[in-house]
Amino acid sequence: MADEYDETVPAWMETTAMAAPVLLGTAAGILLGESMHRGARRGVALGLGALGVASLLPFVVGGVSFLIVGPRSKMGVKRRIQRIRDAGDGTSAESTARAADDVETQLREQGVM
């Protein structure tokens, strides 16, 4: 049985997933490299490291929210059961009452009632 909650990953998430290792690797390289002045090296490395971590945040937030409200979590199961209960036979009480009134009106017009 396929989950109805399956979603495709947005393009911007894939882009951040590719950018994160590059940024973190660059930050590590600058920290370990000797080509820049020590003060400038630390600042640039910390900035790139922060960008790398920030680019991973969408995945972390998405993963945690999927665990909390995903289709197999307690809340996800409750939501699915509620949708099934709400769907019923596909008609709401309001539309059923309206249909009954329409039938009664037609029967009166035909002289049956």
> How far is residue 93's CA from residue 86's CA, in Å, rounded to a whole number?
11
Residue 111 pLDDT exceeds 60: yes
Does some domain include residue 17? yes
First and final CA of the chain: distance in angstroms? 49
Does some domain include residue 60? yes
Does some domain include residue 1? no
In sequence order, what DSSP letters do the residues of 25-36 get, joined into one string? HHHHHHHH--SS
Number of domains in the chain: 1
Does some domain include residue 55? yes
pLDDT, tens only, 92-106: 666 666 777 777 888
The whole domain housing 31 covers 11-110
> How far is residue 49's CA from residue 55's CA, in Å, rounded to a whole number?
10
Does some domain include residue 3? no
pLDDT at 21: 81
Query: Can you tell me the mean pLDDT for 80-91?
Result: 74
Query: Can you tell me the mean pLDDT for 42-50?
Result: 81
DSSP 8-state assignment for residue 9: P
Does some domain include residue 82? yes
The mean pLDDT of the chain is 75
> How far is residue 49's CA from residue 16's CA, in Å, rounded to a whole number?
14
Does some domain include residue 2? no
pTM assigned to the model: 0.45
Does some domain include residue 31? yes
